[in-house]
Amino acid sequence: MLERMRKRTEFSVRSGLLALVTATALSTAPPAAAADTWKEVGSDRADPLTESQGLTSVEVPANSPNRYTGIGTIPADVRFRGWNHVGDPDASYDGHYVEPYQRDSGDSKMFRVQAPGGGWSEYTHALRPGEALNNSWVAITPDGQWMLAGEYGTMSRLLVFPTPGVNPDTSPSTDLPWVATVDLDHPVRDVQGCDFSGPTTLLCSSDDPEGSLFGITRPLLQIDLSGPPNGAADVAGHVTALRQLPLRSGCSGTFETQGVDYDRRTGTLRVIVMSPGFCVLTDSVTYRFTRG
């Protein structure tokens, strides 16, 4: 994901096309009809450097701005230590903010946590046998105590961790354990972000380019859990494809869906979609949806 974004940006800079494409208009084609309850209500430009990977709304402190991740949001010291990819973040309802990180190789993942007071800490998880290296997203349960995380590729599970910095059984000085699993009744592919819209409901963005799993490419997914994750036992997850996410740009080619956020204060769902080719710089979008 990171390498594809870097190549896109380098291509546009080398070719000098940025000045030519800034006047490129978004396609006016309406979104495809979808038999679901989520209605597109607006959009905002997504900056390819600082808003290209993920996003989350933050409730504490009050009136906090939305948070985004991208290539340009990785601190220099973090990148220097090899953590060169950041995924879709989330924030607990008490104001702890968590970003998932991965490296190109190795045997661990990292979760970078900012406490409500502003201080940062890092929690490392050692990979277990069969666990993928990627660390694409995190979703914190409404009670704040547990955190789901996702692997890239075709998967039939989600991983459950105690929420670093929130759950009292976590510490930056010890391994962050994978304590339970969400077993999915249908495989999912290339999930880039998930967020809780209720105690047992997840909304997820998939970058699936094939469409063979659900009959549509790049779907918005809903995962209904058999119970709230509590770290004590695995839970089941029922997967439903709700609709294809919008794929509109002044350029043709391969889109990339990224992170997702559900703001419970407003009932607004937001999903980032990065545009193909050099249009990644000009008309990548964060779409907004509400229940129709």
Per-residue pLDDT tens digits for 221-243 = 999 999 999 999 999 999 999 99
Q: Indicate whether 31 belongs to any domain.
A: no
The two tokens of residue 30 are 């309406």
What pTM value is reported for the model?
A: 0.88
Q: Span 67-83, mean pLDDT?
A: 98
Domain assignment present for residue 165? The answer is: yes
CA–CA distance, 137 with 135 (Å, rounded to integer)? 6
- Which helix (H) or strand (E) is 5 found in, with range? helix 2-15
The pLDDT assigned to 7 comes to: 42
Q: How far apart are CA 200 and CA 223, in angstroms?
A: 8
Q: What are phi and psi of 208, to 5 degrees?
A: -55, 115
Spell out the residues 6+ positions from residue 227 whose beta carbon is closer than 8 angstroms to its own: 200, 235
CA distance 64 to 281: 27
Total domain count for the chain? 1
- On whether residue 30 sits in a domain, the answer given is no
- Sign of the Cα pseudo-torsion (76, 80, 84, 88, in order): negative
Separation CA 71–CA 135 (nearest Å)? 15
The answer to whether residue 250 sits within a structural domain is yes
Reported as a single tens digit per residue, the pLDDT across 90-107 is 999 999 999 999 999 999
Considering the domain boundaries, does residue 155 fall inside one? yes
DSSP tag of 120: E
Domain CATH for 87: 2.120.10
The parent domain of residue 57 ranges over 2-24+36-291
pLDDT at 231: 95
In a domain, 29, yes or no: no
